[in-house]
Amino acid sequence: MSARNLLSDPCWQASDLGLPLPDAPHAVSVALPRWQDVIAYEENDPACRNALKTIYPRFGLHPLLRELVDEIANPGGSAWPYSSEAAAHAAAAHCQRKATQGITEVIRTAGLWCLKADAESTQHARAFWQHTGLGATSRQVAIALKREPAPAPKAGQEARRIVRERLAEIHGIDVARISLHTAGMAGLHAALTAVQALRPNRPTLQLGFPYVDVLKQPQVVFHGGELMQSSNLLEVAQILDQLQPAAVIVELPSNPLLRCIDLPAVAELTHARGIPVIADDTIGTGINLQALPHVDLIFTSLTKSFAGRGDVMAGSLLVSPHSAWSEQLLARIKPLATVSDGDAMALEEASRDVRQRVAQLDANCLTLARHLDNHPAVERVLHPKDCANFQALMRPNAGHGCLLSFEVKGDEGQARRVYDGLKVNKGPSLGTSFTLACPYTQLAHYQELDWAAGCGVSSHLLRVSVGLEEPAELWERFEQALSG
């Protein structure tokens, strides 16, 4: 039986709850087709959770990972598979710092390294596993459980070489400046480890509304993370002097507000104080943005637009040749785990058309944003086309990325009606070849909706990753939902 075509037959109805997106064993998204499904998911409603055929990686255990850990976890405790022995031991060290009386053990089972944690250590084991992205992937576990054949190591090595060369060509840098990681958050972990060697025991400073784990990782795993919403350069300079952070972290653009800070100006202030800048270009992409002259490190979730299929976990970290700490950073970046052979081969195959696909995704997203701008039922549209700071970083003939957010007029009930009636795939993640929508704030900030609203992120904001559907046909689906 062929896989479901999510471009023409999206998972948008109640009966689609829990289906993997895409229709594949290693899908990284899961269908939450109604607003009430999102709430039930956040409330850990058993009926909803039991219906899920997969789960967003890092936010829970894929069914294959669950099968593996259920065999080895002690009663009342937990187990967490990792992509390497070094990653598992790093998780154990984190647990020992956070729960000094807790008991952890690193074991090898089915060819994988796993951290076993007792009840006292479990919450810290879970946090490290989620925030760092160093956990084993579903492909690794499928091989460990002998559900899939192990690829030849040489094939994996060759795939990693090609992916690094592909990234080097996109960014216009030497391939030696690029390392591959198990996830975008694992790339951030390597970046934070490297800058801590330069500026030890200091917190980071994040500018602009954060993607949740970009802020949580330095707060939970390293030495703290402060958040600043203001883009006033005088205020930025003041907090830099006051905090003296290990690094400044920026998203290009931010998720889900899709805004950029004035990167050249902020980088000048930051570098003048001897502080490196770390950027996340997952949404904007290196195809569209030229950020390397202003930043020291760039981490990216390759799972998103680079791969585009939504069925492979991977990340990258780039060291800028313009960085004053270039050689020091290169010497200190040692991934705890790299992309596995199977994931590397899937990533290489999926990214062969990355330039053409990203350009089409970007164009389709811009078309939808303009339609939404002009619809009487829409209160506001958030898209990088309206951000001068984003435009200042764009390469010639570049696009704006595949992501937009919008709010409908009226209350949350109206947003619910639009979301429930929208005939596109609905679930977390972005950058897929099929359109993917979600009530982002409900998914990412359910326990802190008032805080998010205070930061300008509405509780009924809808975020859309635009796919390769024919633009006129896609707009017809949105128009029907908005008029329903």
Q: How confident is the model at residue 201 (pLDDT cuts 50, 70, 90)?
A: very high
Residues 220 and 260 in one domain: yes
% of the chain at pLDDT higher than 70: 100
Residues 271 and 336 in one domain: yes
For residue 55, being part of any structural domain is answered with no
Residues 347 and 358 in one domain: no
Residues 368 and 345 in one domain: no
> Using the 8-state DSSP alphabet, how is residue 4 labeled?
P
Is residue 206 pLDDT above 80, yes or no?
yes
Angle at 231 between CA 455 and CA 401, to 5 degrees: 75
Average pLDDT, the chain: 96
Last residue of a domain, one of 351, 383, 401: 351
Domain count, the chain: 3
Q: What is the CATH number of the domain that holds 25?
A: 3.90.1150.10
Q: How far apart are CA 190 and CA 185, in angstroms?
A: 9
For residue 344, being part of any structural domain is answered with yes
Count the alpha carbons within 13 Å of 29 in the hemisphere toward its beta carbon: 30
Residues 114 and 190 in one domain: no
pTM, two decimal places: 0.97
Residues 371 and 344 in one domain: no
Last residue of a domain, one of 351, 373, 407: 351
- Name all contacts of 260-265 with Cβ < 8 Å and 24+ positions apart: 260/208, 260/284, 260/384, 260/387, 260/389, 260/390, 260/393, 261/207, 261/208, 261/231, 261/389, 262/231, 262/233, 262/389, 262/392, 263/291, 263/294, 263/295, 263/389, 263/392, 263/393, 264/294, 264/392, 265/233
Q: What is the CATH number of the domain that holds 322?
A: 3.40.640.10
For residue 146, being part of any structural domain is answered with no
Residues 193 and 281 in one domain: yes
Peptide bond into 256 cis (omega under 30): yes
For residue 1, being part of any structural domain is answered with no
pLDDT tens digits, residue range 248-262? 999 999 999 999 999
Q: What DSSP assignment string belongs to 313-328?
A: --EEEEE-TT-TTHHH
Residues 171 and 226 in one domain: yes
Contact 343, 214 (CB under 8 A): no
Q: Whole domain around residue 371: which residue ranges?
A: 14-42+354-483
Contact 7, 433 (CB under 8 A): yes
pLDDT tens digits, residue range 43-89? 999 999 999 999 988 888 999 999 999 989 889 999 999 989 999 99
Is residue 1 pLDDT above 70, yes or no?
no
For residue 347, being part of any structural domain is answered with yes
Residues 389 and 294 in one domain: no
Q: What DSSP assignment string belongs to 369-396?
A: HHHHHT-TTEEEEE-GGG-HHHHHHBPT
How far out from the chain centre does Cα 202 lie?
24
Residues 32 and 19 in one domain: yes
Q: What is the CATH number of the domain that holds 112?
A: 3.30.70
For residue 49, being part of any structural domain is answered with no
Last residue of a domain, one of 304, 331, 351: 351
For residue 5, being part of any structural domain is answered with no
H/E stretch holding 310: none
Measuring CA to CA, how many Å separate 402 from each of 107, 168, 256, 288? 41, 22, 12, 11
Angle at 143 between CA 116 and CA 150, to 5 degrees: 135
Which residues, including other chains, have CB under 8 Å from residue 207's CB and lie 6 or more apart? 228, 231, 236, 248, 249, 250, 261, 266
Residues 286 and 311 in one domain: yes
Residues 282-306: what's their mean pLDDT? Answer: 98
Residue 453 pLDDT: 94
Residues 412 and 425 in one domain: yes
Q: Which of 52, 47, 48 is nearest to 18 (CA)?
A: 52
pLDDT tens digits, residue range 317-370? 999 999 999 999 999 998 999 999 999 999 999 999 999 999 999 999 999 999
Q: Amino acid letter at 416?
A: R
Q: What DSSP assignment string belongs to 188-201?
A: HHHHHHHHHHHSTT
% of the chain at pLDDT higher than 90: 95
CA pseudo-torsion sign 401, 406, 412, 417: negative
Q: What are phi and psi of 124, to 5 degrees?
A: -75, -35
pLDDT tens digits, residue range 455-472? 999 999 999 999 999 999
For residue 274, being part of any structural domain is answered with yes
pLDDT tens digits, residue range 78-130? 999 998 999 999 999 999 999 999 999 999 998 899 999 999 999 999 999 99
Q: How far apart are CA 462 and CA 408, in angstroms?
A: 8
Residue 2 pLDDT: 66
